[in-house]
Structure 1
Amino acid sequence: MKLLPVSYADRLRSHIDATVAFALQEDLDDIGDVTAELIPAEQMATARIQVKENAVFCGRPWVEAVFAQLDRSVSIDWRHEDGDNVRADTTICVLQGPARSLLTGERTAINFIQTLSGTATVARQYADAAAPQGLIVLDTRKTIPGLRLAQKYAVYAGGCENHRLGLYDTYLIKENHIAAAGSITRAIEKARELRTTQLIIVEVESYEEFREALTAGADRIMLDELPEPDLARVHADTTEIPLESSGSFDLERLQDARSRYVSVGALTKHVRAIDFSMRLEQRD
């Protein structure tokens, strides 16, 4: 597994086991792979997983979990690691084991890597575009239900970074929270009262809100589609507080960001699956 921030490496391992188990149950139900039963149980085979287009590969731990849960006698010879740039027709790995097990796990394994490689590929495009300006591109919670940690791992493998993992690990005080709490100041005060160690991010929509969040002691301020005059005033202020740009940022608009961080929902929301295939090479 690619080196991850300590904050959720252990959580991800449990997530992989659980999502793979669910995916296999979805495919096999309580009956199993009826088509694979057409093949003699003792028949062994070798298979290759190949990528059919240029991409950033991601999903190795999920493939390993699929075959570990199906049949631990399957061996996998990896030719690439998560985060590698791979070209079309590249072999990602070679598998050996019972033909039934290889065929049963094929689609589940590829379903994971096609989605995660798609996410990592988009993340690499954004990371490369952001590098000249020194921007840090963050993902959001706009993820596939049930695969949030998986997609956030793929974002990290692609070279971008993670925003909060969920509602539990960071305060993100937005317009509706401010309205319900009464003000930015009251919301921040309550957050400090409840938890002293959680990061507090405040989304602001005007220069006046920015000043209030700054004065109230936010840890990071998210600038959400501020009008240009207000944005100019924000950046004219001399402050050490990290700023985050949010809104309709895409590859073309990244150059317009003047903050340290840019959060981009498209990293996980506008993902196209990468084309992979598995082919059996021989029969023993």
Structure 2
Amino acid sequence: MCINSRWWALCLILCFPFACSAVAAPSSPAVMTPMEAAGKLRSLAQRQAKLYLQARVGVEQGSAQQRLAESIAEFERCLPIVQAAAQSGSAARSARRIGSEWESFRKALEAPLNGPAASSLSAEAEQISIAAQSLAVQFDLAQESPLYRLVDLASRSDMLAQRLARIYMQMRAGMGGKAAEVDLEQTRKEFKAAFGELAAAAENTPTIRANLEVARQQWMFFELAVNDREKSFEFARRDVATTSERISQIMNESALAYMRLVRDAAPAVASNAGRR
């Protein structure tokens, strides 16, 4: 099949991304755990930088700005949960770092696009993601159930997809150079590894497996769009925007599904402990 035909086929599918999805609309649990909140901060920083760049280069500008405002509000809901849980040691230092970086990062999100501002924004997104990653790992290790590992892995897969899209948008805005190429390839490899581990998990239910299959298909479209650098395929930028958002939705729903498994398993664990 020639590349034009392939793109035409993909466009038909991408125009109807929700038609055959197994993913229900995301619904947040009544109480978000500190690990979930840290994972969300890790993803949201990359997503916000992506949406900022996307809006400034004119890719689905209206929806990008709306989603950016929503993600800012979500970040500010998650941050106090993390700060309340991280009271001492390295966890407290990471939480303070996120809070400090967030003040300048949010201001940068409101600034007009220019080279220095975009570079600074991307660097701050990285710093927040690194600090949130440290917290997510610490909160994960404090849990007894190995299912928390899958919750975190789904959240991390979301972050990696958002990071890849952010780097792509940065490059399409004419910034990043060779360093961005290296980061893009490294992020692509990390996503494939994380998603492969997630897809192979023995704990996956039929619904989760169906959701991950949708994510796998979206990743195929996403990766093809990221690989396209030809000026004749300007709509590749739009496809990166839409598929990265779709993968984010699926990964968030998958993380919630794993949390439901954690909560369903908790009574059985408590009952067994009581009988010993």
TM-score w.r.t. structure 1 length?
A: 0.24
RCO comparison, higher one (Cα < 8 Å, 6+):
2
Compare the two structures and name the one with the higher helix fraction.
2
Rg larger for: 1
TM-score w.r.t. structure 2 length?
A: 0.25
Compare the two structures and name the one with the higher strand fraction.
1
